[in-house]
Structure 1
Amino acid sequence: MAQIAWLGKKSPFCGNVSYGISTTEALRRRGHQVHFIHFDNPRSPERDNTSLLANDPDVSLPYLVKSQVYTIPSPGAQRELRESLERLQPDLVHASLTLSPLDFRLPELCQQLGVPLVATFHPPFDAGLRNLTAGTQQLSYQLYAPALARYDRVIVFSQLQADFLERLGVPADRLTVIPNGVDTDRWCPTTPGTLSLRHQQVRQRLGRERIVLYMGRLATEKNVEALLRAWRLVAPEGCRLVIVGDGPLRNSLMNQFNDDGILWWGHEPDQDTRVALLQCAEVFILPSLVEGLSLALLEAMASGTACVATDAGADGEVLEQGAGIVLSTQGVTTQLRTLLPVLRDQPVLTAELGRKARVRALERYTISRNIDALEQLYADLMLTSTVAA
């Protein structure tokens, strides 16, 4: 079994946080020793250095600014990271990149320590560059490409993303496509007689209407305003739109769309509640302008919820060939204005879409398949490192 130093995020909640926590938990269940290195509040002078000890699974690094999108570490963070790695002596380092200046220093640091370095590169993209947000996101790829070329392996979520990075100069033999995966035993449809107390509580709060759900950040690139505009135009009778999540646009969107048919749920930190929300939802909609591979989308699919998403990033690939409904990132409001009445009037269609989404998740996007591929990558990399030594 491998000893892994995992550099990632535990807060604030976002897809990167979900990815890091679910992946490290799965690796530990398979017997690997995982030390989670993340940015946390600086330790007080009174505390000892237990977070740097080799037997501590959690290591914290000080920071100045931390958001859902980027992190600015404190001046001493790089020194503490080096000391942590020297004490831990891991077989490899896996960085779930946090959009931090440390991302650019890791290749040199790990080379000096003689430790193989793996990255998972998350930033959303739209290879078609069909909007300003996509153009802005491409800049992050251009900025990162020279550094990613120095990592031993770079994990991306789709071949589209790999091709994009290869065109920017990242060697093809350093790129590995490993799609996100979800625990399909946890994220699953309900069955008669098995409704949990949490599910019943969530259902009571949602009311008796049919539920259309958005779950994610409330930020420009998520394009939630397009969904809200379409909902206001259609106002589907007997349905409720539930917005789960937080972000910089929350207050402005709430003020603009404080309609009776919309429930602003807010940030939901409890996973069991999020599971229940998706089980209660009939339709999940993701109107993003740019994406990587949305974990929320995969969770909705595994839950047997009918899924509608744009073709940003890898999301269109996930829903291709009938596993869901794919929209263009252009004119989302217009497309949803046409689609929402169909989804309202055709419950048989939404049920069949939910069934197909679940089948697709089981075929391609389980956490087990993800960890199998990750373990094989680790083994190959450690073998290469041993031979080179």
Structure 2
Amino acid sequence: MTHIAWLGKKTPFCGNVTYGLSTTEALRARGHQTSFIHFDNPKAPGSSTSLLANDPDVSLPYLVKSQVYTIPSPGAQRELRDSLERLQPDLVHASLTLSPLDFRLPELCQQLQVPLVATFHPPFDAGLRNLTAGTQQLTYQLYAPALSRYDRVIVFSELQADVLARLGVREDRLAVIPNGVDTTQWRPADALPSAIGSELQRVRSRLGTERVFLYMGRISTEKNVEALLQAWRLVDTAGCRLVIVGDGPLRSTLQNSYGQMENVLWWGYESDLATRVALLQSAEVFLLPSLVEGLSLALLEAMASGCACVATDAGADGEVLAGGAGIVMNTLGVTSQLRTLLPVLRDQPVLTQALGRQARERVMERYTMARNIDALENLYGELTRTAPLAA
């Protein structure tokens, strides 16, 4: 079996964290050895990072760490090199954290003669239809030359691969492996085991008896939550409740502006997995009004849970929902589109039930964790049988 040194994040909670933890757990379940290297300053003064070859968890010091980017400490690169020399992995897989260290990894791994894989998942909108999408395009332009030096770069959709190819990343170094979710964990409420069912009962008692329309994710500019709140305020939503799960830089501003709306519940940040599962089990409709996206794990989890899903066509989300698996909006004019859609969803529970079934079927066909790990194993096997590619 393969020994993978996984370089990623464990905190703060975001899609990158979920991706890294769930993927390494699935790889271990298949018998692979994983050593998780992440940014986490030593807890005690004078203590050093763990560099033992049998330690599966290695921490690197950092100066700044957020959901979006990480600034490592000056000695982080040296400590990473020492860690890799001691661990002697068969392959390094970096779930890129938007860090200066990302640009030094190809040289480091070439020196150590270790194949290097990246998962590149910053959000994007290929249409460049808004200022946020233009800003994200700059990130892709900045990273493209460095990505060309990785042995493989995993992206989540053909659309994302096309964006990078146009920016000069060689197509033979791009591997399209969509996100996957554990469909035994994220599943409709009537199929949940009793242990999760008790959590579902607790969550539903807090939510009340109204039909639940749910947003779950970061509350920031690119997620466009304000457009959803504006539409909700303009529509008669009697009998329905909008639940906002998450935190971010715009939460306090939006909550101050829209916090008086009686049928909006600001749940806040939720770290407990069982509670997040129960929230999606309680939701009838999942709403994702993003201006830019990669391939949203929250969307896939909602689909697997049987929610009727409404999302913009930013990133790969429109591709996921195309063909009847959900309702796809344009990133332009989200509020006006939701003003039309929300009354339909309110008045047509039969439609939401049908959309929920189709969403679950789409995930089972294309976006399971098992399919994701199959593809990763094939990629790892290909790279560990050959020497790292030349720069």
- TM-score, normalised relative to structure 1: 0.98
The answer to whether residue 33 in structure 2 is matched with residue 33 in structure 1 is yes
Question: Do the aligned partners of residues 64 and 208 (structure 1) sit closer, same or farther apart at CA in structure 2, a change above 3 Å counting?
Answer: same
**Pairwise mapping of residues 12-31 of structure 1 onto structure 2 (< 5 A)?**
12-31=12-31
Rounded Cα–Cα distance in structure 2 between residues aligned with 1:224 and 1:46: 43
Rounded Cα–Cα distance in structure 1 between residues aligned with 2:388 and 2:233: 60
**1:143-166 CA-partner distances (Å, limit 9, x unpaired):** 000000000000000000001101
1:201 paired residue number: 202
**1:156-205 CA-partner distances (Å, limit 9, x unpaired):** 00000001101101000000000000000000001179551100000000
Give the aligned residue type for 1:305.
Answer: C
**Pairwise mapping of residues 158-169 of structure 1 onto structure 2 (< 5 A)?**
158-169=157-168
Question: Do the aligned partners of residues 271 and 8 (structure 1) sit closer, same or farther apart at CA in structure 2, a change above 3 Å counting?
Answer: same
**1:245-279 CA-partner distances (Å, limit 9, x unpaired):** 00000000000011111000001001110000000
**1:269-303 CA-partner distances (Å, limit 9, x unpaired):** 01110000000000000000000000000000000
Rounded Cα–Cα distance in structure 2 between residues aligned with 1:297 and 1:39: 27
8 Å CA contact retained: 1:37, 1:61: yes
- Give the match's secondary structure for 1:376: helix
**Pairwise mapping of residues 129-278 of structure 1 onto structure 2 (< 5 A)?**
129-191=128-190, 196-258=197-259, 259-278=261-280
Question: Do the aligned partners of residues 218 and 28 (structure 1) sit closer, same or farther apart at CA in structure 2, a change above 3 Å counting?
Answer: same
Rounded Cα–Cα distance in structure 2 between residues aligned with 1:267 and 1:283: 19
8 Å CA contact retained: 1:42, 1:63: no
Give the aligned residue type for 2:301.
Answer: E
Give the aligned residue type for 1:4.
Answer: I
- Give the match's secondary structure for 1:385: coil
**1:92-133 CA-partner distances (Å, limit 9, x unpaired):** 000000000000000000000000000000100000000000
Question: Do the aligned partners of residues 341 and 172 (structure 1) sit closer, same or farther apart at CA in structure 2, a change above 3 Å counting?
Answer: same
- Give the match's secondary structure for 1:38: strand
Give the aligned residue type for 1:326.
Answer: V
Residue 42 of structure 1, CA deviation? 2.8
Give the aligned residue type for 1:148.
Answer: L
8 Å CA contact retained: 2:110, 2:388: no
Rounded Cα–Cα distance in structure 2 between residues aligned with 1:193 and 1:151: 41
Rounded Cα–Cα distance in structure 2 between residues aligned with 1:209 and 1:356: 23
Q: Structure 1 residues 316-325 or 192-201, which shifts more?
A: 192-201
Rounded Cα–Cα distance in structure 2 between residues aligned with 1:156 and 1:150: 15
**Pairwise mapping of residues 283-298 of structure 1 onto structure 2 (< 5 A)?**
283-298=285-300
Residue 48 of structure 1, CA deviation? 5.9
8 Å CA contact retained: 1:228, 1:257: yes
How well do the aligned residues superpose, as a CA RMSD in angstroms?
Answer: 1.4
- Give the match's secondary structure for 2:385: helix
Rounded Cα–Cα distance in structure 2 between residues aligned with 1:133 and 1:193: 38
The answer to whether residue 374 in structure 2 is matched with residue 375 in structure 1 is no
Note the residue ranges of structure 1 that are not aligned, 5 or more in a row: none
8 Å CA contact retained: 1:214, 1:286: yes
- TM-score, normalised relative to structure 2: 0.97
Give the aligned residue type for 2:240.
Answer: C
2:281 paired residue number: 279
**Pairwise mapping of residues 5-84 of structure 1 onto structure 2 (< 5 A)?**
5-45=5-45, 47=47, 51-84=50-83
Rounded Cα–Cα distance in structure 2 between residues aligned with 1:305 and 1:266: 20
Question: Do the aligned partners of residues 134 and 175 (structure 1) sit closer, same or farther apart at CA in structure 2, a change above 3 Å counting?
Answer: same
2:106 paired residue number: 107
**1:320-341 CA-partner distances (Å, limit 9, x unpaired):** 0000000000000000000000
Rounded Cα–Cα distance in structure 2 between residues aligned with 1:43 and 1:246: 26
8 Å CA contact retained: 1:235, 1:261: no
- Give the match's secondary structure for 1:118: strand
- Give the match's secondary structure for 1:52: coil
Rounded Cα–Cα distance in structure 1 between residues aligned with 2:210 and 2:363: 27
- Give the match's secondary structure for 1:380: helix
Rounded Cα–Cα distance in structure 1 between residues aligned with 2:346 and 2:118: 42
Rounded Cα–Cα distance in structure 1 between residues aligned with 2:237 and 2:141: 43
2:305 paired residue number: 303
- Give the match's secondary structure for 1:60: strand
Rounded Cα–Cα distance in structure 2 between residues aligned with 1:192 and 1:97: 35
Rounded Cα–Cα distance in structure 2 between residues aligned with 1:299 and 1:326: 17
Rounded Cα–Cα distance in structure 2 between residues aligned with 1:30 and 1:256: 48
